[in-house]
Amino acid sequence: MKDIAREAGVSISLVSYVLNDKNTGRINADTAKRIKDIAKKLNYQTNQIARSLQNKKTYTIGLIVADISNFFYSYIAGFIEDEVNKYGYNVLFGSAYENPKRFMDLLKVMVSRQVDGLILAIPDGAEECISYVQSLSIPFVIIDREFPQFKGLNTVCLDNYRSSEMVVERFYELGCRRMAAIGLDNNLFHLSERNRGFSEAAAKLVGADNVTTVKVAENVLEEQVENQLRAIVYGNKVDSICFMTNKIAMAALPILLSWGIKIPQNLSVICYDEAEAYKLFPYPISYVKQPLKDMSIEAVRFLMETSQSKVLGVQRFPAELISLKGY
């Protein structure tokens, strides 16, 4: 800006006004044009750092996901990026890998970088991070997960309870009367709700004796999925099974395939989350689709309009049950 001012023979202030289209009414049109031309000639790009320091606004949204290389979060990241761009914002991202300490570190980095808002997928066991982020004056919204023990959190997530009720209802329509679900063994509330929705709806429709629900640990997922699957399919002789997360589905489906189990003749299967991979599976896979785009848009919209300090509360989005090849 100093260079532009010198070359145009005006003050830095004036350059600033012109380049930001402020005070346009009172500025000589010729001078304005001259300044703009020089700026273009010099290939001037605002130093956003300096501007941010003055404005106390960085036009940056911090996004902390569990793992950017997981397609669930990379989809979300893509939608969020597209959406914040519409408002002239950019995304600073980080993966916490479900690690509370790493999450806290990322949070502090985002804070020190003065992000204007945060979108957070908070890991299991990071409750103290919630208190911390609440103590900040940065607007934030929690995505995908729920923490009901904290009041007044702005949250965008799936209606998890209802989503697994839908799964059960579909199984029932298909004539299934012995249902199973494999879920993840952790304390994340949204996953408990999924499990609860399944168990309660299934018990009501076919009786608790005909419902099997098991949980597998994340760190030995492959191995436990195989063992549990064997017990459920060959032991309990169920006619339907729901994989409650996409990772479980990706571990379980190849095993069913290797056992020569036919879907849906031998077993009805419904998975959570949309995956391009289902296209490569030789049997039709129904799945619970989360409206990730709508959820992302809502999260961003809230942050952008939060200056009016509105409250979002917990927004639970309805799931959609998709039948890939119609069953």
**6 lies in the binding site for DNA (CB under 7 A):** no
Residue 81 binds which one of a copy of itself, DNA, none, with CB within 5 to 8 A depending on kind?
a copy of itself
What is the distance between the alpha carbons of residues 320 and 306, in angstroms, rounded to a whole number? 29
Compute the least distance from the CB of residue 22 to a copy of itself, in Å.
18
For a copy of itself, give the closer residue by CB, 68 or 205.
68
For DNA, give the closer residue by CB, 52 or 99.
52
**136 lies in the binding site for DNA (CB under 7 A):** no
**10 lies in the binding site for DNA (CB under 7 A):** yes
**22 lies in the binding site for DNA (CB under 7 A):** yes
Write phi, then psi, for 83 (nearest 5 degrees). Answer: -75, -45
Q: Within a 10 A sphere around the Cβ of 29, how many other Cβ atoms?
A: 8
Q: Within a 10 A sphere around the Cβ of 208, how many other Cβ atoms?
A: 11
Residue 1 binds which one of a copy of itself, DNA, none, with CB within 5 to 8 A depending on kind?
DNA
What is the distance between the alpha carbons of residues 111 and 136, in angstroms, rounded to a whole number? 9
Strand duo 90-95 + 60-65: pairing: parallel
**28 lies in the binding site for DNA (CB under 7 A):** yes
Helix or strand (DSSP H, E) at 19? helix 12-19
Compute the least distance from the CB of residue 140 to DNA, in Å.
20
**279 lies in the binding site for DNA (CB under 7 A):** no
Selected from 24, 28, 90, 227, the binder of a copy of itself by CB under 8 A is 90
- At residue 178's C-alpha, the angle toward residues 176 and 184, to 5°, is 110
What sign for the dihedral angle of Cα 182, 187, 193, 196? positive
CA 276 to chain centre: 17
**11 lies in the binding site for DNA (CB under 7 A):** yes
Best CA proximity match to 107, nearest among 154, 140, 148: 140
For DNA, give the closer residue by CB, 34 or 215.
34
Compute the least distance from the CB of residue 91 to a copy of itself, in Å.
6
Residues with Cβ within 8 Å of residue 36, at least 6 apart in sequence: 18, 19
For DNA, give the closer residue by CB, 26 or 279.
26
**266 lies in the binding site for a copy of itself (CB under 8 A):** no
Compute the least distance from the CB of residue 117 to DNA, in Å.
18
Which strands, in side-by-side order, build the sheet including 320-323? 211-216, 179-184, 240-243, 268-272, 286-289, 320-323
Selected from 40, 41, 53, 108, the binder of DNA by CB under 7 A is 53
Selected from 16, 19, 34, 52, the binder of a copy of itself by CB under 8 A is 52
What is the distance between the alpha carbons of residues 94 and 72, in angstroms, rounded to a whole number? 15
Tokens found for residue 82: 């597209």
Tokens found for residue 121: 């997928």
Residue 11 binds which one of DNA, a copy of itself, none, with CB within 5 to 8 A depending on kind?
DNA
**287 lies in the binding site for a copy of itself (CB under 8 A):** no
Cis peptide before 100 (omega within 30 of 0): no
CA 10 to chain centre: 49
Residue 151 binds which one of DNA, a copy of itself, none, with CB within 5 to 8 A depending on kind?
none
Q: List contacts with DNA (CB under 7 A).
A: 1-2, 9-14, 16-17, 19-20, 22-23, 25-29, 31-32, 46-47, 50-51, 53-56
Interface residue list for a copy of itself (CB under 8 A): 43, 45-50, 52-53, 58, 60, 67-71, 74-75, 77-79, 81-82, 90-95, 108-109, 111-114, 135, 250, 253-254, 257, 275-282
